[in-house]
Chain A
Amino acid sequence: MKQELLLIQGTLPDMGLQSKAAQLALKGHLTLRVISGANLEAATADDGAIAKALIPQAQNARVILAPATTRLRAILPMLAWYLQAGLTADCTHLDISPDGTLLQTRPAFGNSLIATIETVSGIQMATVRPGTFPVSEGAEQIPVETLQEKPAQRVKLLEFVPLADSVPLGEAKIIVAGGAGIGSSAGFLKLADFAGRIGGVVGASRNAVDAGYVPYSAQVGMTGITVCPKLYIAVGISGAVQHLAGMSGSTTVIAINSDPKAPIFQYADYGIVGDWESIIDQLMEELS
């Protein structure tokens, strides 16, 4: 009988997920094992090689979880194929029955639906949106095994350029997030200036990131980071469900948008309709 809950952590370990995995293992009568492939991710660029190295580790797994980082979202589907197991992407909620059946919940079809999914294969696999679960005490004390593997030949890493400023978005008390409505990289510099003055950091919607205004590290939402700051100021963000999913846990939400019909206002505590630049100018003046 397969009795393990295997958590795979990558370069960016999700301690909240580690806490959640411990709770799920307890409730589902499974043994928790944590494996880190972080050293491999640094050493080799071949996700397929990492997936293969994980196959023997999954021998006794009933559940396999991993944070939905870019690399693990590539590695887990490969591993799922090798194990012929079902895999649910980017879950936002997990539960388990005492017999070890994993209930996986995720937003579906990019809109207002939330689907709960069960796996019909023996091994149940899911990636989990990073930052979804709060870190509970003791998560750091869970022993982590390191994955060993031979370097791969088929993909070669030539160069890695780290992001200049890694914004600790997940820890920020105040986030000033911009959307496509900001219109340019220069606009984002202005937002950054404002954020800096009020002790916040800059976030962004996917549209703003895809448009190239701001790096991916700033992306809040379903395919970015999930945040829950004390104050979230959404500027020029229409409020696609994918974005809302990443910030709806914020204590207070302020929306600034020129379109009075923008859905973001339905998810905000305070709102101003108007040109974002003049509103930010006015705010800076009042706060100076």
Chain B
Amino acid sequence: MIKRILVCVKLVPTATSVEMDGQFRLKRDGTSLQLNIADVSALEAALRLKAATPDAEVVVLSMGPAKTSQTLQELYALGADRVILLSDPALAGADSFATAKALVAAIRCLGDFDCLLCGRRAIDAETGQIPGQLAAALGIPAVTNVQQLTARDNGFLCQRRLENGTAQLEIAAPCLLSVCEYTYPLRLPGIMGKRRARDKQVEVLTAVAVGLSAEECGLRGSKTKVIRVDTRAPGLRKCRYCETDVLAEKIREVQL
């Protein structure tokens, strides 16, 4: 029986272009934020598992600037039982290794869980590395790129999308599953949910509170370092607007 589902979510900039500071860190202030698109699927999957299992609890964990707590608070209205934000200026500039380390420290403070769900990648950095790093650090099995999942016995059944086909897998709990974008559309908050959310607060944890030392955090705790950033030049080709006869001619040329 499922007792607790953890969901890791990230708020990402809504803008298609972002700015960076002098140390090549993403400027997260001043840009509007939204729930990362694959994390939406992970959260909805968790809420569905909860709906199918009485007494199951959904705990949402996010890492980011303090101001993200406003957006995260709305997740209570959807049915999250606890929303936790790991937030500390010391964590800024973390690469995937340092991010995984921080999340693991926070997860260890939350107690046992049956399933850790996350999106398969974030649309800002697109590394998709956090799920694998979390699973290795927590010593639990993992399936990435999940397109469908259901609870079964002491584990989960899931469908994994691969380049050359689809794998149907059975995984034992506790485990990590990373979910694809658009797998499950997120529900809308109901009146009851909104009412319940009113008196709930996002629990904010600092790096020290989860037992992280300064050396383990942010840029200092990272294993990779951005040494240069170049702007990709737009408009590498000069477009000639034309009619279909010119295109047909081009196609014939290539066919020869």
A154 to B248, CA, bound (A): 55
A281 to B40, CA, bound (A): 39
**Residues of chain A contacted by B229 (CB below 8 angstroms):** 108, 113-116
- Residue-wise, chain A 95-111 has the 8 Å CB interface mask toward B (1 for contact) of 00000000110011111
Name the contact of A286 in the complex, choosing from B172, B227, B244 (C-beta under 8 A).
Answer: B244
* A70 lies within 8 A of B162 (CB): yes
Name the contact of A47 in the complex, choosing from B26, B144, B250 (C-beta under 8 A).
Answer: B144
Question: B127 an interface residue at 8 Å Cβ cutoff?
Answer: yes
**Residues of chain A contacted by B230 (CB below 8 angstroms):** 113-114, 116
Bin chain A's interface residue count: 35 or more
Query: Contacts A109-B26, A157-B169 hold; do A115 and B228 have CB atoms under 8 A apart?
Result: yes
**Residues of chain B contacted by A253 (CB below 8 angstroms):** 237
Query: Contacts A74-B132, A174-B254, A272-B242 hold; do A159 and B168 have CB atoms under 8 A apart?
Result: yes
Question: A45 an interface residue at 8 Å Cβ cutoff?
Answer: yes
Name the contact of B126 in the complex, choosing from A70, A242, A263 (C-beta under 8 A).
Answer: A242
How many Å from the CB of A11 to the closest CB on chain B? 7
Residue of B nearest to A248 (CB): B236
* A118 lies within 8 A of B248 (CB): no
Question: B129 an interface residue at 8 Å Cβ cutoff?
Answer: yes
Question: A1 an interface residue at 8 Å Cβ cutoff?
Answer: no
Q: Which of A15-23, A143-151, A182-190, A215-223 contacts B (4 or more CB under 8 A)?
A: A215-223
Name the contact of B237 in the complex, choosing from A48, A242, A267 (C-beta under 8 A).
Answer: A267
- Residue-wise, chain B 153-189 has the 8 Å CB interface mask toward A (1 for contact) of 0000100111111111111100100101110000000
Q: A75-B132, A116-B228 are in contact. List 9 more A-B contacts (CB 8 A).
A: A47-B143, A74-B145, A74-B178, A81-B133, A109-B26, A115-B229, A155-B171, A231-B254, A267-B237
Subset of 19 A-B contacts with CB under 8 Å: A48-B141, A70-B144, A70-B161, A75-B132, A77-B100, A77-B131, A78-B132, A86-B95, A114-B230, A116-B229, A119-B224, A119-B225, A157-B169, A160-B168, A223-B126, A253-B237, A269-B239, A272-B241, A272-B247
